[in-house]
Chains A and B, each alone.
Chain A
């Protein structure tokens, strides 16, 4: 097997252990730091899978969030409480869900060419090309074009986004991710920026001191 695959499996184990510690430990600070370890594991996984943009974003956001969380946790007193769950109920629900997911994967990952079939790991559809459709007019097979096009939109972006096709300008961005995010799919990014802006304004509105009624302030500080 691919060594990257086994590295990813090891990382997955590390992240699972980290999440278990984060969920189970009594100390809030240890919990936050375990969450940070899980985040860094995610970042390394992105790097191994060949997504440096995502890896950079993940690692810097992780650091900033970790700093803020540690700051908040240190300021507070340890106010942890334990809620008792029935181990049998939770375990059986998780087991049924796991079996369900496993059966779905098993059904979808068999051989065959149906549109519902999952691709094997590491062999995405965008690596494949097919002859362009509607190639030859009827009765003139010698006019059939030999041009092939990628079978998925991801492959089409990789092939045409930089230079463009005849009649359509390319983005000219050497980093394909930015070309897609800020040009070909600019609407999505605008929506994302709107979400961040709204979230930040919401945080200000919740945390502000000025303009609040005294009563509301008392309730919120409790």
Chain B
């Protein structure tokens, strides 16, 4: 997959960071305001997908290769399970073993923000990995459907 036109690239440079920060905010403040790990993780994956679509797969190979996506996915899943198992320290599976704090502040609600973070990492990396698989694996086979893509919808993708 090659990158898109200069306009798309510049707009992506401006916007992608804000999208990522919004995703991180949604993950970290999931226990205070609407949102949560799943929604924030999908937003993070969306930011990465935007960058890959604009700059091409070279970017992903350099900054966020597929192995890292797989590893983060597994790490998030194991981390969430670990939070659940650590509840045995105070009596049972999924027990909230951290102090509750002041409701409404960032550091409150015990283990809930940690679980949110783990789910966010897991969902974001997992969905981005699936997108990479769908977008890149197909291209590696013979017959070059990519050139077909550029031919048919020439205005969408500029071969740079």
Contact = CB atoms under 8 A, between A and B. Distances in A.
A171 B126 contact: no
A61 B31 contact: no
Contact of A53 (B39, B73, B111, B129): B39
A162 B49 contact: no
A170 to B, nearest CB: 7
A203 B39 CA distance: 21
Given A183-B96, A197-B73, A172 B108 contact: yes
Given A56-B26, A60-B46, A64-B42, A203 B133 contact: yes
A200 interface: yes
Contacts, number: 155
Interface string B84-112: 10000000011010001101100011111
Nearest to B33: A175
A199 to B, nearest CB: 9
B46 A64 contact: yes
A183 B148 contact: no
Contacts of A193: 77, 80, 119, 122
Contact of B135 (A71, A187, A194, A203): A71
B18 interface: no
A171 B119 contact: no
B126 A173 contact: no
A53 B122 contact: no
Given A76-B145, A183-B112, 19 more contacts: A56-B35, A60-B39, A64-B131, A68-B130, A68-B134, A71-B135, A74-B153, A171-B109, A174-B108, A175-B35, A182-B112, A183-B96, A190-B80, A190-B81, A193-B77, A197-B73, A200-B127, A209-B137, A209-B140
B138 interface: yes
A103 B24 CA distance: 48
Interface in A47-99: 52-53, 55-57, 60-61, 63-64, 67-68, 71-72, 74-77
A2 interface: no
State the 10 A-B residue pairs at the shortest beta-carbon distance, nearest first: A172-B100, A186-B94, A173-B109, A52-B34, A173-B31, A200-B126, A207-B133, A60-B42, A172-B109, A174-B104
A14 to B, nearest CB: 23
A106 interface: no
Interface residues of B, number: 59
B112 A171 contact: yes
A178 B42 contact: no
Nearest to B118: A193
Contacts of B77: 193-194, 197
Contacts of A209: 137, 140
Contacts of A169: 96, 100
A204 interface: yes
Interface string B113-147: 00110010011001101110111011011000110
15 contacts: A56-B34, A56-B35, A68-B134, A71-B135, A74-B156, A169-B96, A171-B112, A173-B32, A175-B35, A177-B36, A178-B109, A183-B96, A186-B93, A186-B115, A207-B137
Contacts of A76: 145
A221 interface: yes
Contacts of A67: 46, 49, 53, 131
Contact of B112 (A179, A204, A221): A179
